[in-house]
Amino acid sequence: MSIKPLADRVLVKPAAAEEKTVGGIIIPDTAKEKPLKGEVISTGNGTKDEEMVVKAGDNVLYGKYAGTEIELDGEKYLIMRQSDILAILS
């Protein structure tokens, strides 16, 4: 199954949560922070007032509570507005 976001929405696959701290401590699943970066999978066409700046394949940073979580074919994704994206990583 495929999904195509509408208008100014973006489909993002969140990056995997960190398994270990810098000091080598293993983080249990219950204590892991929600990742704040991910890869854009697909985008809508934009609106007449806002053109799409991000494109598929971009790595982005987004807010902690941005988007709506969905599960598709066993994978977790986020659908969010382009305005919820804070930056494009290069």
Q: pLDDT tens for residues 2-21?
A: 899 999 999 999 998 767 77
Enumerate the domain spans of the chain.
9-16+29-89
CA-nearest of 61, 90, 89 to 78 is: 61
9: left (phi over 0), alpha (psi -120 to 50) or beta: beta
Compute CA 28 distance to the chain's CA centroid, rounded to the nearest angstrom: 22
This prediction's pTM: 0.84
Q: pLDDT tens for residues 41-88?
A: 999 999 999 899 999 999 999 998 999 999 999 999 999 999 999 999
* 9-16+29-89 homologous superfamily: GroES chaperonin (2.30.33.40)
